Structures are given as structure tokens and as C-alpha cells.
Amino acid sequence: MKPETKRRQNYRFLFPIQTRWADNDMYGHVNNVTYYSYFDTAANALLIQHAGFDLQNTPIIGLVVDSACSFLQELSYPEIIEVGVAIEKIGNSSLRYDLAIFKHGQLEAAAQGHFVHVFVDRQTRKSISIPEDMRDALTQFLL
């Protein structure tokens, strides 16, 4: 069953990424595992740019516990893509992102999926509540 294709206007945060030569596989298109790297990069960019998340020094870190991707169109090198990021749900200690990859200037997603971060204490790896300032900063990206 093919999912409904996501559209660019549904995302308030779009993160540009230049595909790399190494992203292509032997079939001449971006390998499927690389799409997850794009998702991870864009989700973390949202946290850094809009929630003040400091990857090196924050006492909490986000661990990916669930992800999925539907591949709708091929990507290849060289292309500039944009990854749309929205927040589907803010839980006590988790964020569920809604993500879509768009070819430059294209309105419909070439790939789309989700990603779940559970936030844990950096040292103990025990789940921890998302800080209020981070939660407040991310509410503007809720669907």
C-alpha cells in the first residue's frame, strides 16, 4: 500500500543537503541506507538550530529507537536535496519526527518517513524528560 505523498508546504523546517559521490551505489543512485543519514542530519540540525541543542556538551542525548522510510523516487549524485522536518509528537522523553526528502524545487517528496529520538542521560543512558525550554522551542514545528 503506497503512502500518501508528503508535500513541501507541510514542513516549516527544510534543511538543504548536497548529495555526495560516495552516496551513490553500484546502481547509480543514492543507496537506501543513506536516506536515514539524511533524516538523522536534518533532525539534529533542527535541534541545534532551534532548540539550542549542544551535541558535545548537553547532559542529555537523543538515541534513535525507531525509524522508517518509504522510497518514492530515486536520488543521485550530484543533487541538492532538502529534508523537511516536522514534529509529529512530543512525549515525556521522546520526539517523533515526520520527515520528507525533496529534490531541489520539487513539491512532492522523493522519500518520506519517521524517526524517533528517546532522550537519555548522557552518562547513565536512562531516559529523561525533555527539558521545558527544548519542548517550548520545538512546539512551533508540531504538525
- Within-domain flag for 75: yes
Residues 6+ apart with CB under 8 A from 125: 63
Q: What is the pLDDT of residue 87?
A: 98
Residue 3 in this model has a pLDDT that exceeds 90: no
- Within-domain flag for 56: yes
| Spatial distance between the Cα atoms of 39 and 55, rounded to a whole number of angstroms | 16
Which three-class secondary structure state does DSSP give residue 19?
coil
Which run of H or E residues covers position 138?
Answer: helix 132-138
| pTM of the model as a whole | 0.94
- Within-domain flag for 55: yes
> Which grid coordinates belong to 43?
533532525
The CATH number given to whatever domain includes residue 117 is: 3.10.129.10
- Within-domain flag for 33: yes
What digits encode the pLDDT tens for the residues 7-63? 999 999 999 999 999 999 999 999 999 999 999 999 999 999 999 999 899 999 999
> Which grid coordinates belong to 91?
512525549
What digits encode the pLDDT tens for the residues 58-79? 999 999 999 999 999 999 999 9
| Spatial distance between the Cα atoms of 114 and 124, rounded to a whole number of angstroms | 26
- Tell me the sheet residues that pair with 61: 120
Range of the domain at 90: 8-141
- Within-domain flag for 2: no
| Spatial distance between the Cα atoms of 69 and 36, rounded to a whole number of angstroms | 8
- Within-domain flag for 1: no
Residue 2 in this model has a pLDDT that exceeds 80: no
Q: How far is CA 121 from the centre of its chain?
A: 21
Closest residue by Cα to residue 22 from 80, 96, 77: 77
- Tell me the sheet residues that pair with 118: 63, 94
What digits encode the pLDDT tens for the residues 81-96? 999 999 999 999 999 9
Q: Backbone phi, then psi, for 142, in 5-degree steps? A: -65, 140
Q: For 110-138, what is the mean pLDDT?
A: 96
Number of structural domains (the chain) is 1
What digits encode the pLDDT tens for the residues 105-123? 899 999 999 999 999 999 9
- Within-domain flag for 14: yes
- Within-domain flag for 109: yes
Band of residue 137 on the pLDDT scale cut at 50, 70, 90: very high
